[in-house]
């Protein structure tokens, strides 16, 4: 430190320019330090003040009163309330013209104005605010959103704690044709509940397995999570994900042999149905005709109007004849639903709409055949009329509606976030045990039997791609029918799949715990009517038996972590289509991710206190005002 000139001059410049060399006379340090008001001590106190924000030179120049801080907090809270609303609804912040004279300054500024005009306290504070402290600029908005997303993710990670978890990953392109990878976590919380949470979305330059792995490592490291804590992987059937040699699954397994891969059960079901349509000529032809029917009937607004008017007339006539009843939610206007190639539940919706609008579609095709603008269109309408009124079409329509109704319910059940692997297996296997009918009619023999047999064959081929031994061992934890599936040897074998959690000595301890655990839970009425291992986990925590049998509970927790479906990751892309749409296609990756965290996990976001977000916002930069 340079010595002060004047009355309190220091001990020269030996300490700052020449360097101190006379170490034999260390007492000279004390001479330099001097008394309480020496130049050295004054310089030291000034340095300390400069390093503290509240004593910073800006704070010294603009010394704040308590009232100023109160008003600053009111402004922050008002801004945050507006931001909370927009984030939870997935609405855009900016407007095309945000000047004070604009009649529509965008959602954020308009909402702020509304709040100011309808709250007396905020209006008084806002009226006295200096122009550069209104906290409405885009950088301030982004800081607040980043703070909100950060605190929401922190709440999720606090809930996760040091628990083991599974990852669910999906990748897709957004509206601006950028490859995005979504990562979700599946874990068991302190209450014994199975939880699935969105962790983040990462832009990837390409979708090769190595690029996805690097992006995953970066995201996990950002949140202080480790590959070593992964105990399950859930993806769809893409080769870059589940490839046996170079897929993401294999790359992770090379580093963590306990990160078991489970092919999404709902996706396997979908693939089975796709395979069915491709391998059975009559069924494939039927769905091709259904697609043509959807295109022809719904090709123009005029045809859709004809369909709507025809249906209204038929509903009115049926109501007059007493064939149907009126009531709230009944006889609503219906339209033909278009099926998506990769979502076979949408095919079920299409078949339902054809059944309900069948006669009205016939009317539309009659009109097209008579008044079509070209011979090609008239010809298509004539062929569809002939095919739709054939017994074969009607039979296959009702057959596939019945088949898809079963698989639709199964798919919906599999996509529940709290679904466990044992229940998923039970659901899939129960659909394999359909009773065969004895009617040897042609359509039943050639169509019904073949459809059912091929569907079951595809399910068998695909479901068994996962480790059969692992799943069979897991099923022994099921509490159904008074723990009738319990098998100690298989559960001990299950523990051996996880060498990081169960050493040879711990497996011996588990052996003893399993015997006591089985006798205990079988003798208590509280465990007598449980359906799945997720129910069992909740009950063990509720009765505090997870503390009595920690190794058994750990085994149960590892089983619950195994992902059943990737629905949570896929729903993130549905949310992305709302957030990053055609009008907001230039959103940056960080801004998009922050938006998605708060929008997708809004139940967590709602519980985050304003104070935590405000404090996080304050720490992001040196603010002109301090709390």
427-473 confidence digits (pLDDT tens) = 555 544 544 444 444 455 455 556 666 666 655 555 544 466 787 88
State residue 498 phi and psi, 5-degree precision: -125, 75
Say whether pLDDT at 222 is over 60.
yes
Across the beta sheet with 230-235, the strand order is: 194-203, 179-188, 165-173, 230-235, 261-263
User: What's the whole-number mean pLDDT along residues 157-179?
Assistant: 90
What was the pLDDT predicted at 410? 65
Alpha helices in 5-106 (DSSP H): 27-33, 39-51, 57-61, 66-89
pLDDT for residue 422: 61
Q: Is the pLDDT of residue 404 over 70?
A: yes
Is pLDDT above 90 for 300? no
Highest mean pLDDT (candidates 222-226, 346-350, 423-427): 222-226
| Mean pLDDT of the region 597-617 | 95
Question: pLDDT digit string (tens) for 534-589?
Answer: 999 999 999 999 999 999 999 999 999 988 777 788 888 889 999 988 888 888 89
Alpha helices in 372-448 (DSSP H): 375-388, 391-414, 421-430, 442-443
Calpha distance 14→22 (Å, rounded): 10
Q: Tokens standing for 578?
A: 């709302």
3-state secondary structure of 165: strand
Give the three-state DSSP class for 255: helix
Question: How far apart are alpha carbons 149 and 155 in whole angstroms?
Answer: 10
pLDDT tens digit string along 48-97? 766 665 555 555 555 557 888 888 899 999 999 999 999 999 999 987 78
Q: Which of 354, 357, 353, 348 is nearest to 393 (CA)?
A: 354
Q: In the chain, what percentage of residues exceed pLDDT 70?
A: 73
- pLDDT confidence tier of residue 162, bands split at 50, 70 and 90: very high
Nearest-angstrom CA–CA distance, 211 and 209: 6
Question: Which residues, in sequence order, are CB contacts of 153 under 8 Å at separation 6+?
Answer: 199, 200, 223, 597
Whether 200 has a pLDDT exceeding 70, the answer reads: yes
- Of the listed ranges 17-26, 27-36, 103-112, 297-306, the one predicted with least confidence: 17-26
Residue 287 has pLDDT above 60, yes or no: yes
pLDDT band at residue 149 under the 50/70/90 scheme: very high
Q: Other C-beta atoms within 10 Å of 438: how many?
A: 6
Looking at the DSSP assignment, which residues form a beta bridge with residue 261? 233
Phi and psi, residue 584, nearest 5°: -130, 40
Least confident residue range of 31-45, 185-199, 389-403: 31-45
Q: What are phi and psi of 197, to 5 degrees?
A: -130, 145
Q: What is the mean pLDDT of residues 172-186?
A: 89
Does pLDDT of 524 surpass 80?
yes
pLDDT for residue 606: 95
Confidence (pLDDT) at 495: 94
User: What's the rounded mean pLDDT across residues 201-210?
Assistant: 87
Q: What is the arithmetic mean of pLDDT over 396-421?
A: 70
- Mean pLDDT for all residues in the chain: 80
Q: Provide the pLDDT for residue 208.
A: 85
SS3 of the chain: helix, strand, coil, percent, to 5: 65, 5, 30
Residue 165 has pLDDT above 90, yes or no: yes
Which of 182-196, 429-443, 497-511 shows the lowest per-residue confidence on average (mean pLDDT)?
429-443
Compute the chain's Rg from CA coordinates: 33
At 488, is the pLDDT very low, low, confident or very high (cuts 50, 70, 90)?
A: very high
């Amino acid at each position: 430190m340079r010595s002060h000139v004047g009355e309190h001059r220091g001990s020269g410049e030996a300490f700052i320019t020449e360097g101190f060399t006379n170490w034999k006379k260390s007492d000279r340090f004390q001479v330099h330090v001097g008394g309480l008001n020496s130049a050295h001590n004054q310089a030291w106190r000034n340095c300390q003040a400069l390093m503290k924000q509240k004593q910073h030179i800006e704070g010294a120049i603009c010394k704040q009163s308590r009232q100023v801080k109160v008003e600053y907090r009111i402004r922050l809270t008002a801004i945050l309330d507006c931001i909370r609303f927009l984030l939870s609804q997935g609405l855009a912040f900016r407007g095309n013209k945000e000047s004070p004279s604009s009649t529509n300054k965008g959602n954020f500024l308009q909402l702020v104005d509304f709040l100011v005009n309808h709250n007396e306290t905020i209006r008084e504070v806002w009226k006295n605010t200096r122009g550069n402290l209104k906290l409405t600029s885009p950088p301030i908005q982004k800081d607040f959103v980043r703070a909100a997303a950060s605190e929401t993710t922190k709440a999720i990670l606090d809930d996760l704690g040091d628990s083991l978890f599974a990852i669910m990953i999906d990748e897709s392109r957004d509206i601006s044709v950028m490859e995005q990878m979504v990562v979700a976590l599946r874990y068991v919380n302190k209450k014994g509940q199975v939880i699935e949470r969105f962790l983040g979305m990462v832009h990837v330059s390409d979708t090769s397995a190595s690029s996805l792995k690097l992006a995953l490592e970066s995201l996990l490291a950002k949140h202080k999570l480790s590959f070593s804590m992964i105990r399950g992987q859930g993806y769809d059937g893409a080769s870059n994900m589940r490839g046996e040699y170079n897929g993401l699954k294999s790359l992770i397994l090379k580093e963590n042999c306990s990160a078991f891969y489970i092919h999404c059960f709902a996706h396997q079901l979908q693939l089975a149905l796709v395979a069915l349509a491709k391998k059975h000529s009559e069924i494939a032809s039927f769905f091709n005709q259904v697609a043509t029917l959807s295109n022809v009937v719904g090709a123009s607004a005029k045809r859709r109007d004809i369909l709507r008017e025809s249906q209204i007339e038929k509903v009115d006539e049926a109501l007059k004849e007493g064939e149907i009843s009126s009531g709230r939610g009944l006889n609503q206007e219906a339209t033909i639903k278009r099926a998506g190639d990769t979502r076979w539940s949408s095919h079920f919706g299409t078949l339902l709409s054809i059944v309900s609008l069948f006669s009205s579609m016939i009317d539309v095709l009659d009109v097209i055949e008579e008044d079509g603008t070209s011979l090609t269109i008239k010809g298509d309408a004539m062929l569809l009329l002939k095919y739709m009124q054939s017994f074969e079409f009607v039979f296959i329509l009702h057959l596939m509606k019945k088949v898809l109704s079963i698989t639709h319910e199964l798919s919906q059940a599999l996509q529940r976030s709290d679904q466990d692997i044992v229940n998923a297996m039970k659901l899939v296997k129960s659909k394999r045990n359909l009773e065969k009918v004895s009617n040897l009619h042609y359509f039943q023999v050639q169509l019904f039997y073949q459809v059912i047999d091929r569907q079951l064959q595809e399910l068998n081929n695909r479901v068994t791609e996962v480790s059969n031994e692992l799943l069979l061992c897991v099923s022994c934890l099921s509490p159904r029918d008074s723990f009738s599936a319990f098998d100690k040897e298989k559960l001990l074998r299950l523990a051996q799949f996880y060498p990081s959690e169960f050493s040879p000595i711990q497996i011996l301890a588990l052996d003893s715990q399993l015997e006591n655990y089985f006798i205990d839970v079988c003798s208590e009425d509280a465990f007598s009517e449980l359906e799945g291992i997720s129910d069992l986990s909740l009950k063990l925590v509720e009765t505090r038996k997870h503390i009595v049998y920690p190794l058994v509970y750990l085994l149960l927790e590892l089983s619950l972590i195994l992902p059943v479906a990737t629905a949570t990751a896929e729903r993130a892309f549905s949310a992305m289509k709302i957030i990053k749409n055609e009008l907001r296609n230039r959103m940056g990756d960080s801004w998009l991710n922050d938006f998605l965290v708060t929008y997708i996990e809004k139940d967590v976001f709602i519980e985050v206190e304003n104070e935590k977000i405000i404090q996080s916002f304050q720490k992001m930069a040196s603010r002109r005002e301090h709390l």
